[in-house]
Amino acid sequence: MTANPSAELLDSLLTATGQTTAVREEVRVWSMSGVERVTFPDGATAIFKYAKRPFDNEGQALRLARTLGVPVPQVHASAVLDGWLGMLMDDLGPTVREADDLDGVAAAVVLHGARTAPALPVLDQERLRTLPARALEHLERLRKAERWQDADDVEDALDRIAQAAESRSAGATMGPFGWVHSEFHPTSLHIGQQGWMLLDFARAFTGPGLLDLASWHGTIEPPHSVRLRVFLEQYVTAGGTPDALSRRGGLTAENWALGWHRMWAVEWFMEQSIRWIDDPATDPAYIKTVRRHLTDVLHHLEI
């Protein structure tokens, strides 16, 4: 995979949309993706987003969501080059305010109510149940690379979760089951003059919608069961399925959601560490985050 080919991607997208040149202005840039505002000679603007595999399916997900009636930015052109995706999208302009919990439940009800799309990857009970085993496989690869050597506690926690995973994953396909945004935070909800739009569909999949609801309040602060319960009740009041409040896997809906969301995050962080980022310098930060999330998994899944 080559170094970031954003300039070549933008050239392809400009050609595809009949433009010749554009002035680039960074909005947010990370190691694996970036968002820029581009201004054309006539003064019109668009958003140019580029992202490295595994975030290179967002164009397809956005087009699917838009077709199914979910308010998302329109993708005018997309291209893939050497494992990188580039997209030119609507510039939604400035937000009028930050999204609050009621905005979040309204967006979740619409997204979770959309028809499922066969093109999306599926996280059903079987896939959910295997998350701790998959994380253990990542740990084995890290150790073979002589990394994460002092992480026996991580292995022990994952072993305990793997043993309980079959019973605790029960109810995974109970409603809401369908579209999962997977990066569902207030920053992914753009509230502008014309209403709201959902952004950041790079990791969308078909699965338990409770994972979205469990991610809304972020993962920096410790998870809060009571706050999530209130959020779930708001979701049902706004038109979400009443099953969102049902016990599953022997747990309350909120504890099931928080526990499995953090387990999903652990597996993702460990895969990033060995596969997508693969930089030993990041290990201390990743290990610290994984340990914190595993403590939450054990607590909320009551293991």
Residue 56's pLDDT band, with cuts at 50, 70 and 90, is confident
30 with 179, same domain: the answer is: no
Mean residue pLDDT across the chain: 94
pLDDT over 80 at 103, yes or no: yes
Per-residue model confidence as pLDDT tens digits over 249-272 = 999 999 999 999 999 999 999 999
Single residue among 39, 55, 89 that ends a domain in this structure: 89
Residue 284 lies in a domain: yes
Structure confidence at residue 231 (pLDDT): 98
Q: Check whether 34 has a pLDDT greater than 50.
A: yes
pLDDT of residue 6: 87
pLDDT at residue 29, as a whole number: 86
Task: Give yes or no: residues 83 and 169 share one domain.
Answer: no
Per the CB < 8 A criterion, the answer to whether 18 and 240 are in contact is no
Rounded mean pLDDT, 73-99: 94
Do residue 130 and residue 267 come from a single domain?
Answer: yes
110 and 66, same domain (yes or no): no
Structural domain contains residue 1: no
Q: Are residues 105 and 240 located together in one domain of the fold?
A: yes
- Same domain for 15 and 106: no
User: Domain check: are 218 and 128 in the same one?
Assistant: yes
Mean pLDDT of 97-123: 95
Exposed / middle / buried, residue 232 (Cβ in 10 Å: 0-12, 13-18, 19+): buried
Can you read off the two tokens belonging to residue 298?
A: 């054990």
User: What percentage of the chain exceeds 90 in pLDDT?
Assistant: 85
Question: How far apart are the C-alpha atoms of 277 and 263, rounded to whole Å?
Answer: 19
* Same-domain pairing of 50 and 132: no
Domain span including residue 183: 101-300
Length of the chain (residues): 303
**With contact defined as beta carbons under 8 Å apart, do 297 and 157 qualify?**
yes
**Residues ≥6 apart with Cβ < 8 Å to 63:** 75
Give the model's pLDDT for residue 216. 98
Please give the pLDDT value at position 277. 81
**75 and 59 Cβ atoms separated by less than 8 Å:** yes
pLDDT (0 to 100) of residue 1 = 44
As a whole number of angstroms, the distance between CA 297 and CA 289 comes to 12
CATH of the domain at 60: 3.30.200.20
The domain spanning residue 158 has which CATH number? Answer: 3.90.1200.10
| Model confidence, pTM | 0.93
pLDDT at residue 246 greater than cutoff 60:
yes
- Each residue of 157-211: pLDDT tens digit? 999 999 999 999 999 999 999 999 999 999 999 999 889 999 999 999 999 999 9
| Residue type present at position 218 | G
User: What mean pLDDT do residues 135-163 have?
Assistant: 97
Q: Does 115 lie in the same domain as 66? A: no
State whether 138 and 280 are in the same domain: yes
Could you tell me if 55 and 124 lie in one domain?
no
Mean per-residue pLDDT, 215-221: 93
Across residues 120-138, what is the average pLDDT? 97
